[in-house]
Amino acid sequence: MHASLRSPRQATTLLSAIACLLVFAFALSACGDDEDSGAGAGGGSGAEESAGVPKKSIVYAQLVGDASEIALRESTAVKLATEALGWDLTYIEGAGDIPQMIQGINGAINGGADAVMIASTDAPLVKQSIDLAKRKDVPVLGVGGGAPPSAEYDAQYQEDEVRMAEELTARMVEDLGGEGTVAVLDNTQISAGKFRQEGREATLEGTDIETVGRQDTDLADLIGGAKKGVSAMLTQNPDVDALWLVYDAMMPPGLEALNQRKNTTTKVYSWFANPSNLEVMRKNENVQALVDSNLDHTDLIAIDQLARFFKDGTELDPDALKNCDVKYEVVARDNMPPDGEINFPVEENAQPFIDNWKAGKYGEGADCA
């Protein structure tokens, strides 16, 4: 996530190569002819068009869905932004089901959608939807959650996964004084996991911190797999100094495994200072740091670009996020926000964009890092 959020290192891919092909093949058969696909759940704001921008219908497809707090932050920002512009919004929660997400996107495109935003998803996984959109001259943007750069998307606005891993790992190295042991819970089915792993390993090079345990979990059983993986690593290395968890959802089961062994010394490092994670950090002294970002900024930049595109036909700027970057911060025990607060409130993130739109300013970015 350094200079450019369009770095070839950033990204997420939902499955391994073979799994991608299998899921995609199933998606094609499950969805049938794309002209007949059903529309996903959604809703319109009913507001008037904003400052000369015509009323439009936008599809926002989130691979994970609101069950994830970080994904909820994104979808909330999209709802605030489209409502402010007077646009109708169809929100499709994929819940990890690619074929179902494709079906919803296709139905919405066939129903007259003017643009599609797809979060946290590799372009090859939703190629059927992208191809349908291209035939209907509907722009498709990749947002949030980092996916590999792809010419299939008309534009991509996504954070730097590698930078987040580097910053989190650097804090761990500092806490351990540059020496000790770490057990890591990874996932290599998707690019987010792969690139977070890359950032961690690059940061550990040259230190005296040894990786003494590593488990690769399955997305199909993320919670159960995390608990089993951490338990196995603790059995082999009960006195490990640190535990590095590649996804925020791994933290509760990982802590459960630690608590079962009455382990209060192993330091835990993971992702996103969402409300529940901060509450856990306040109550459990094992948790030392969470890397965080205003991830919803990627969605707001995308909508800002679409607003200018629909207003006067200006092409989408592929460097819009590079010029108005995401903010990153490691939240540790010594800099936690006050109880009941978070670092990047969604409403505060969205307001500068909404103020610009009310003033007739589009495509300029807002609240830049």
Q: Where are the strands (E) in the chain, listed by range?
A: 43-44, 57-62, 88-93, 115-119, 140-143, 155-157, 179-186, 208-216, 242-245, 267-271, 287-293, 328-332
Helix (H, G, I), strand (E, B) or coil at 214: strand
CA 305 vs CA 95, 99, 135, 299, 368: distances in Å = 27, 28, 21, 10, 15
Q: What average pLDDT score do residues 22-37 get?
A: 37
At 64 the pLDDT is 79
The whole-angstrom separation of Cα 63 and Cα 61 is: 6
The whole-angstrom separation of Cα 272 and Cα 247 is: 9
pLDDT band at 316 (very low <50, low <70, confident <90, very high): very high
Looking at the DSSP assignment, which residues form a beta bridge with residue 44? 88
Helix (H, G, I), strand (E, B) or coil at 184: strand
Contact indicator for 106, 33 with CB cutoff of 8 Å: no
At 6 the pLDDT is 34
CA 128 vs CA 131, 249, 334: distances in Å = 5, 30, 47
Q: What average pLDDT score do residues 309-324 get?
A: 97
Question: Which of 16-25, 98-107, 225-234 is predicted with the least confidence, judged by mean pLDDT?
Answer: 16-25
| CB-count burial class (<10 Å; 0-12, 13-18, 19+) for 35 | exposed
DSSP letter (8 states) at residue 205: T
Q: State the distance between the two ends of the chain, measured CA to CA, in whole angstroms.
A: 12
The whole-angstrom separation of Cα 49 and Cα 100 is: 31
pLDDT band at 104 (very low <50, low <70, confident <90, very high): very high
Of the CA atoms within 13 Å of residue 138, those in its CB half-sphere come to: 25
The whole-angstrom separation of Cα 252 and Cα 272 is: 13
pLDDT band at 232 (very low <50, low <70, confident <90, very high): very high
pLDDT band at 67 (very low <50, low <70, confident <90, very high): confident
The whole-angstrom separation of Cα 357 and Cα 85 is: 8
CA 68 vs. chain centroid, Å, equals: 10
At 44 the pLDDT is 38
pLDDT at residue 10 tops 70: no
Collect all residues with Cβ–Cβ distance below 8 Å to 335 and sequence separation of at least 6: none
Overall residue count recorded for the chain in this entry: 369
Helix (H, G, I), strand (E, B) or coil at 41: coil
How would you write 79-108 as a 3-class SS string? HHHHHHHCCEEEEEECCCCHHHHHHHHHHH
Question: pTM for the complete prediction?
Answer: 0.81
The whole-angstrom separation of Cα 206 and Cα 197 is: 16
Q: What average pLDDT score do residues 50-67 get?
A: 87
At 27 the pLDDT is 36
Q: What percent of the chain has pLDDT above 90?
A: 71
| CB-count burial class (<10 Å; 0-12, 13-18, 19+) for 111 | middle
Nearest Cα residue to 69 out of 229, 245, 278: 278
The whole-angstrom separation of Cα 85 and Cα 87 is: 5
pLDDT at residue 31 tops 80: no
Of 161 and 3, the structure prediction assigns the larger pLDDT to 161
pLDDT at residue 163 tops 70: yes
At 166 the pLDDT is 98
Q: What percent of the chain has pLDDT above 70?
A: 86
Q: What average pLDDT score do residues 44-67 get?
A: 76
Helix (H, G, I), strand (E, B) or coil at 43: strand
> What residue ranges define each of the domains in the chain, with the CATH number in brackets?
17-159+295-327+344-358 (3.40.50.2300), 161-293 (3.40.50.2300)
Q: What average pLDDT score do residues 72-78 get?
A: 96
The whole-angstrom separation of Cα 191 and Cα 214 is: 18
- In 3-state terms the chain splits into helix, strand, coil percentages (rounded to 5) of 45, 15, 40
pLDDT at residue 7 tops 50: no
pLDDT at residue 50 tops 80: no
